[in-house]
Amino acid sequence: MHENESTTSREHAIALELQALAQQAREALLTALESDDEVAITALESASDLLTSIGELTRQHDFIDLPVLDDVQRDVDRLACSLYRQGACDSLDNVARTAFVDRHAKALTALNGIGPVSARKLFVHGIGDLEQLRALSPDGLGSVEGLSAATLARIKANL
């Protein structure tokens, strides 16, 4: 009985930790949505860090299943893409801007044929995730500046 109580207590503590992280992420996202440029970017990065922490915690404990986490991260990446396109990153230096883009374009590299450089180009063009990429017409994909014909062919073949 003692082991069951200990396990239940541990799981409860982890659940409370997840709840606190989720609440902090929610607050950061609300701040990002309601703020201008620099504050929005800072809040979005905070939310993204918190989502990463939640993801790490779920991977450490097999009794946690949060399938919605991928959807939330996708939406954060879309918001990041939208903020980028609106100029919210214009005040960042090149290193910070590149780090921001790389972080939020990373999900695009899940498609065979898209590396970090191509993901950056797609993100800057307004494509923040694979769902948006798949919804793009072949002509729309061709309008992405800086993608070579070979890269375009690989992406189209793997969509």
**Overall fold of domain 91-159:** DNA polymerase; domain 1 (1.10.150)
Which pair of tokens denotes residue 82? 């939208």
* Positive/negative CA dihedral, 125, 79, 114, 93: positive
* Domain spans in the chain, listed from the N-terminal domain onward: 1-66, 91-159
Whole-number Å distance between alpha carbons of 156 and 121? 15
pTM, entire model? 0.87
Q: Which residue has the higher pLDDT, 64 or 105?
A: 105
Which pair of tokens denotes residue 123? 């993100």
Residue 58, pLDDT above cutoff 80: yes
| Average pLDDT of the segment spanning 126-152 | 90
Residue 115, pLDDT above cutoff 80: yes
Residue 136, pLDDT above cutoff 90: no
Whole-number Å distance between alpha carbons of 120 and 80? 12
At residue 1, the pLDDT reads 47
